[in-house]
Amino acid sequence: MTLFKLCYNAGMQAVIVTGASSGIGRAAALRFGREGASVLAVGRDPDALREVGQAVDAAGGRCKALLSDVTSSDSPERIVQVAVESFGGITALVNAAGIIGSGTIETTTDEQWDAMLDVNLRAPFRLMRAAAPHLTAARGSVVNVSSVNVSRAAPRWRWRRRACA
């Protein structure tokens, strides 16, 4: 099932997309824009967010870009607040921000492990919790995105602290 179909029943009036600066998050933001949705594009790269915002607007949607690190403690409430103030509510949440690590169990540090957990697990949970009242009221949808790396090993990859956000 496609991301679009998962959120279609929510009406897509107001969608939060994390990781919107690049990759799957960027593609999701653009797709929702083509469908006329209002998109809160959340990411850490201001230039990429500006470009995504322009592309969403040009595609027929309405975009507000929000520069935010999803791991900061106040980020979930701030993201939800901006979406509600900008669009009047939230009908879908796409958690697409993510980082990858490639170290072995012997070489991955606690700091690297914590970073992966913070971005890939804790941040989506906190954002879903913050958005839940609005999504429930709108009978909205949540899509949590992972990559193929969740199901296969990639032994030659090197650790890099690069958020796809």
Nearest to 82, CA basis, from 134, 46, 40, 140 = 40
What's the CATH class of domain 3-147? alpha beta
Pairing status of strand 141-144 against strand 62-67: unpaired
The whole model's pTM is what?
0.85
- The one-letter code for the residue type at 146 is S
Mean pLDDT of the chain: 88
Where are the chain's structural domains? 3-147
Q: Which residues of the chain have pLDDT under 70?
A: 1-12, 148-165
Quick one: pLDDT at residue 146? 85
Report how far residue 48's alpha carbon sits from residue 33's, in angstroms, rounded to the nearest whole number: 16
In this prediction, residue 4 carries a pLDDT of 54
- Residue 41, pLDDT score: 99
- DSSP letter at 148? G
The reported pLDDT for the residue numbered 89 is 96
Give me the pLDDT at residue 101, please.
79
